[in-house]
A and B are shown apart, each in its own frame.
Chain A
Amino acid sequence: MLQHLKPTDEEIEQLALAETDMKQAGRFSPLRYGPAGNLAVILAAGSLGMAHALAAAVWRHISPAPAKGRDA
């Protein structure tokens, strides 16, 4: 189940290209808001991000054209 929520190969490729573009280096720098701040970021982004990934997986499942780059 969780496997289906992971980013697609296409999405990972886009991230990899962005991460190795020095103009976008700031997007990938560490966040340092103290222990409570970083924990809050992890919890908030984790829960919202999982809901988003679940909605995207459902959409992929019901939409007629399958997303490229995902294993069956």
Chain B
Amino acid sequence: MHDIIVVGSGPAGAMACAELVERGFNVALVDYGDDDPGMRARVPDLPFGRLRAEDPGQRGYLLGDNLEGVPRSGTRVGAQLTPPRQFVNRAAEKLLPVNSPDFQPMQSLALGGLGAAWGTACCTYSPEECALAGLDHAAIAAKYPDVIREAGISGPEQDPCTGHWWNGMTGHQPPLDIDTNSASILEAYRRDPGAWLKRGFALGRIPLAVNSRPHRDREANPYFDTDFYGEARRSAYRPRYTVERLLKAPNFTYIPGCLALTFGETPDGVELSCSRGGERTAVRGRRLLLCAGALGSARLALASMPLARRETSLLCSAYVYYPTLNLRMLGRPAADRRHSMAQLMAVFGDLSRPESTCSMQLYSYRSLLLFKIIKEMPLAPWAGLLVARAMQDALSIFGVFFPDAAGPTKTLRLGKSVSSPAPDLDISYALTEEQAALQRKLERGLSRCLLRLGCVPLGRVDPGKAGSIHYAGTLPRINPVNPDLYTQADGRLGGCERVFVGDSSSWNWLPCKGPTFTAMAGARAVAGQVAASLGGRQ
């Protein structure tokens, strides 16, 4: 029998395993573990410009062997995954069915979970945000340095702007170089940051889980702008790297190919029932830690707990993006040396009230490929191509995220197992009128700020209700939809002695800032509670 079974190898699961293995426990990681190393290996270790000019096999990984990287009409969740990343939701689309007219979440059964396609933005949460989410800020803040140590994070020094999303952090690497386009926007902002802050707009460098210096066995980012295709010398953190490192430890076991279905407490531990190669199999441990993501952990808990109603709450950040034309760069050459991840971050709104702010990430990567921009233009293709070429150096894309609060209009209900061994999830999700009004107000103000910065919005793209891929709150501390299903303050699932929740499922509220960095710190904190329940130090 294992000491602890961890379900899911995503950012939370990998970090929890690292914490528990370091403490000497016998840990089993149960995972489906889909992967596509062959496709990844096809991306040459060359700058994007050179591989475009020299590699005759580029179509295979840029568009996919069956052109699966060419998005069809409409914008859907997951359409942004490049062919080498499409394994991330490949198995989940078949094995984790969701029924909803308008909420199609991205789920993952990949090795590394959704973290295999994570944009790597890292944000600290303030005490106010932690209080709203039901998190222990002191415990989370104590674990941030361990996440920095494991993942290798490059970030800015704290200033009045970056302090809104990168507060009190030390021990990280220097920030990555900024590209020409984003540098011109930041320069415009820095002419009078005080006035911008008075308007409620803070802009600055973004911390990323990408190496600017070699870290452990991973290299520094080579600025090839291929980060959404290959692994660019493993510079961007993926949870798979932690799993690969732990495999060398004698007290760690990786059990791939398992689709976890239900759990049950036994007199001396927990039994996890899985589907493996079409057969039912059981894994036994003294404790179980759920890190299968907000939807995955909820599916397991709803299928396993003795509940009167198999229904729960759901949180998801609303998300839209604005392609903009940076007038300062129009007709001027942008340097090709760049990485593909976000260059800048901003928060906007009432900066003293996290419920009334939105966050923004600015991208200006060249490797987007022009046809994806032309697809959105109401122009004949020849004209779209000319316009896209004229705008290419000056194109900046602002992705905007909004906070989310739970309520009776956002629910997730367990259905029957129809097409998969795992049961269906029926999702109904609608923003309240109050939330929608706040979002409209923030977007209006944000558009004005973008214009003042010299960035003319060219449109507004809404990828759908689940488009942010930031999900949480399905097993919260206080559940407004099903009070019988909740997580206790120490991370234990309500009504259970030996089952813990390690991911963002346990949050009561979702901030506008990216949740992954804090979810990783939270997983390490809950892992400490699991250790304490087995007689270790907390």
Contact = CB atoms under 8 A, between A and B. Distances in A.
Contacts of B374: 7, 12, 15
Residue of A7, A13, A53, A56 ringed by the most chain B CB atoms within 10 A: A7
B436 interface: no
Contacts of A42: 387, 390-391
B375 interface: yes
B58 interface: yes
B55 A22 contact: yes
B56 interface: yes
A35 interface: yes
A37 B331 contact: yes
Contacts of B330: 35, 38-39
Interface of chain A, main secondary structure: helix
Interface residues of B, number: 45
B48 to A, nearest CB: 12
Interface string B59-84: 10011000101111110000000000
Contacts, number: 136
Interface in A35-50: 35-39, 41-42, 45-46, 48-50
B332 interface: yes
Residue of B54, B380, B385, B387 ringed by the most chain A CB atoms within 10 A: B380
Given A17-B59, A31-B390, A45-B386, A6 B333 contact: no
A50 B395 CA distance: 20
A34 B56 CA distance: 32
Contact of A27 (B55, B59, B385): B385
A34 B382 CA distance: 21
Nearest to B71: A12
Nearest to B336: A30
Contact of B385 (A3, A15, A48): A15
B188 to A, nearest CB: 15
Interface string A1-24: 011011101011111110111100
Contact of B332 (A5, A32, A49): A32
B70 A12 contact: yes
Contacts of B195: none
Contact of A19 (B54, B74, B371): B371
Contacts of B70: 12-13, 16
A63 interface: no
Contact of A46 (B371, B376, B379): B379
Residue of B53, B54, B56, B70 ringed by the most chain A CB atoms within 10 A: B70
23 contacts: A6-B376, A7-B380, A7-B384, A19-B371, A20-B59, A20-B63, A21-B59, A22-B58, A27-B385, A28-B385, A30-B392, A32-B332, A36-B331, A38-B330, A45-B383, A45-B386, A45-B387, A49-B383, A49-B384, A52-B382, A53-B378, A53-B379, A53-B380
Given A6-B377, A38-B390, A69-B73, 12 more contacts: A16-B70, A25-B52, A28-B370, A28-B389, A30-B392, A32-B331, A35-B327, A35-B331, A35-B332, A45-B386, A46-B387, A53-B383
What are the 3 A-B residue pairs with the smallest beta carbon separation, nearest first? A49-B383, A5-B378, A49-B379
